[in-house]
Chain A
C-alpha cells in the first residue's frame, strides 16, 4: 500500500541511474550527496521526487530574502530567562524557564509606524517608563517553548493592531437598527401570547 502510494509520486522509471544534475550549495542539506558507489533503490529520493530545474540565482534570492527580512528580528529583542512561579518543587526552583522579551517600541522599525502607535495605545499597560514593551511567558517547562509563546504574542499584537475596524455603511446601519427593533417587538408579542395561555389555564376560586 505504501509502495502504491509512493509509486504514484513518480513515474515507473527504468532502473538506470539518472543523470544527476549538479546541485548548488544552497540546495538541500538534507538530501544525501550520494556518490554513484552508494546504494540507490527504486525509492531513493531522487527517483521519488525528480528534480525540477530551477536557476540557482532564483533560489539564492528566495532564501536570502527570507533570511534577511524575517517577521521578528530576534537580535533586536532582548531576551532573558528567569525562574517560573507555581508548584513544581525543586525543579521549578532551580530551572530558568520563564522567558521575558523586551524591545523599545518607538525604535522598532520592523513594525509599521501606525501599527506601532496603535500597539502603544492598546497595550499601554505593558510598556514601561523608558518606552520598552515587555512580554513574558511561563506556559511550558522549556525555555524555547516559552520564547516561542512570547513571539507568538508579539505577532498577535501586530495582527490585532493591523486590523482595520469595519465601517458600517448608512443603509446597513439603518437596517441593523430596524432588525433589532423588530426582534424586540416579536419577543414582546410572544411574551403576551404566552401570558394569555397561562391565564386561560388558571381556575378562579368560585
Chain B
C-alpha cells in the first residue's frame, strides 16, 4: 500500500520493491475508513432489538395490516373517484419540450450557443440547454414566450413548434425562425449524432409530417418549413404591424447568408445529405454512387 501511494519510480525500481514486500492477501487488505458502514440488523441489541421497530401490539406488530388504499370499510379514494380518460392515450401523444426565450438568451450570453451559426436542436443539445428523450414520445422542442421582453439576440433558429409571440420576439431582433418536423428516428439521430455515426449506418432521410401536422407546417404563420416562401414576408409584416415594431431588413444584414440557410425537408444535418456514411475514426464521408440509391435518397 505504501509502495502504491508513492506512485512507483518506473519499471525496475517497482519490481525491486515488489520482491521485498510481503505478498498481497486478505491479511493485508482493509477498506478505507468510512467506506463500509455496517447495516442496522433487527433484533440485535439496544437499537435494533426489543420490539425491532414494529410498534406495540395490534395489526402493526403482528403483521396483519390491510392492503394499501383500504380505509377501514369506507369506500376508498381510488374507488370513489370516477374514471375519466385524462391519461388515456398519453403514450400516443406528441410531447414538445418547452424552451423559453429567457433560457435561449441565457445560453447565448454564456457562450454555450453560438448565434453566428444556425441554431438547431443539435446545437441546443450539445449546449445542454434542452434534453430530449425521443423514446418518451418527445417530438422536439417548442419555443415559449417567457423572457420575450428582454430577448435581444439575432439568431437563425429551427425548432419544432413556436408560439406567435416567440416568433415576433425573434423577428423583432432581426432573426429568422423556422419550424420543422422530425420523426422519432431522425430526432434521435439529430440529438445524438455521434453514437449514430459510430453505428456506421447511412444517414436516413427525414420523414414528412403526419396528416394532422401537415397543415401546421405548410402555414406561413407558423413559419413552417414546408410553407410557401412567398407567403412568409407578408406574415412577417403582419406580425410587425400587430406587435408594433419596425421589421428590420435582413437582406441588408452582414450575416444574411447565415440567416437564410435552411435545411432541405429531407435533410437531418446541415451539410450532410441522406445516404452518406460518416466514418468517425478515419474522418471520411462515404457517398453512394449507385443510381437507384441516389434516386431513393433524393426522393
Answer yes or no: do A and B interact: yes
Q: What is the interface of chain A, defined by CB distance below 8 A to chain B?
A: 1-3, 5-6, 15, 25-26, 28-34, 38-45, 48-49, 52, 63, 66-67, 70-72, 74-75, 79, 95, 97, 142-145, 147-148, 150-152
Q: Does B25 contact A (CB under 8 A)?
A: no
Please state if A29 and B274 are interface contacts (CB–CB under 8 Å): no
12 pairs from A and B in contact (CB 8 Å cutoff): A6-B218, A6-B226, A29-B256, A30-B232, A45-B265, A48-B228, A49-B230, A71-B241, A74-B246, A79-B244, A147-B243, A151-B244
CA distance A156 to B243 in the complex (A): 15
| Chain A minimum-CB-distance residue to B207 | A2
CA distance A22 to B213 in the complex (A): 32
Q: Does B188 contact A (CB under 8 A)?
A: no
B50–chain A nearest beta-carbon distance, Å: 51
Please state if A41 and B265 are interface contacts (CB–CB under 8 Å): yes
Please classify how large the interface on chain B is, using the bins under 10, 10 to 19, 20 to 34, 35 or more: 35 or more
Please state if B298 and A26 are interface contacts (CB–CB under 8 Å): no
State the majority secondary structure of interface residues on A. Answer: loop
Q: Does B39 contact A (CB under 8 A)?
A: no
Given A41-B205, A41-B266, does the pair A148, B274 have CB atoms closer than 8 Å? no
A-B residue pair count with CB separations less than 8 angstroms: 130
Residue-wise interface mask of B (238-280) relative to A, using a CB-CB cutoff of 8 A (1 in contact, 0 not): 0001111111001100001101111111110001011000000
Please state if A45 and B208 are interface contacts (CB–CB under 8 Å): no
Please state if B145 and A1 are interface contacts (CB–CB under 8 Å): no
Q: Does B160 contact A (CB under 8 A)?
A: no
A152 contacts across to B, CB distance below 8 A: 242
B51–chain A nearest beta-carbon distance, Å: 48
Please state if A142 and B265 are interface contacts (CB–CB under 8 Å): no
Q: Tell which of B211, B232, B243, B266 touches A1, judged by Cβ atoms closer than 8 Å.
A: B211
B228 contacts across to A, CB distance below 8 A: 48-49
Q: Tell which of A25, A31, A49, A147 touches B262, judged by Cβ atoms closer than 8 Å.
A: A31
B120–chain A nearest beta-carbon distance, Å: 14
Given A39-B273, A41-B205, does the pair A148, B176 have CB atoms closer than 8 Å? no
Given A42-B298, A43-B265, A70-B241, does the pair A97, B149 have CB atoms closer than 8 Å? yes
Please state if B211 and A43 are interface contacts (CB–CB under 8 Å): no
Please name the 8 residue pairs, one residue from A and one from B, whose CB atoms are nearest each other, closest first: A39-B273, A41-B266, A2-B208, A31-B229, A32-B262, A29-B250, A28-B229, A43-B265
A39 contacts across to B, CB distance below 8 A: 264, 266-267, 273-274, 298
Given A25-B251, A63-B233, A70-B241, does the pair A38, B178 have CB atoms closer than 8 Å? no
CA distance A67 to B237 in the complex (A): 8
Please state if B148 and A144 are interface contacts (CB–CB under 8 Å): yes
Given A97-B149, A144-B168, does the pair A33, B260 have CB atoms closer than 8 Å? yes
Please state if A29 and B251 are interface contacts (CB–CB under 8 Å): yes
Q: In chain B, residues 58-73, which have Cβ atoms closer than 8 Å to a Cβ of chain A?
A: none
Please state if B266 and A43 are interface contacts (CB–CB under 8 Å): yes
Q: Tell which of A38, A71, A144 touches B149, judged by Cβ atoms closer than 8 Å.
A: A144
Given A5-B214, A49-B229, A63-B233, does the pair A44, B264 have CB atoms closer than 8 Å? yes
B265 contacts across to A, CB distance below 8 A: 41, 43-45
Given A1-B211, A6-B226, A41-B298, does the pair A29, B205 have CB atoms closer than 8 Å? no
Q: Tell which of A1, A43, A66, A70 touches B210, judged by Cβ atoms closer than 8 Å.
A: A1
CA distance A8 to B257 in the complex (A): 31
CA distance A99 to B174 in the complex (A): 23
A67 contacts across to B, CB distance below 8 A: 237, 247
Please state if A72 and B226 are interface contacts (CB–CB under 8 Å): no
Please state if B176 and A30 are interface contacts (CB–CB under 8 Å): yes
Please state if B226 and A28 are interface contacts (CB–CB under 8 Å): no
Q: Tell which of B168, B172, B208, B242 touches A151, judged by Cβ atoms closer than 8 Å.
A: B242
Q: Does B6 contact A (CB under 8 A)?
A: no
Given contacts A26-B251, A39-B298, A41-B299, 12 further A-B contacts (CB under 8 A): A6-B208, A30-B176, A30-B260, A32-B261, A34-B264, A39-B267, A41-B265, A44-B264, A67-B247, A142-B165, A143-B149, A148-B243
A178–chain B nearest beta-carbon distance, Å: 47
CA distance A141 to B193 in the complex (A): 38
A45 contacts across to B, CB distance below 8 A: 226, 229, 262, 265
CA distance A70 to B239 in the complex (A): 12
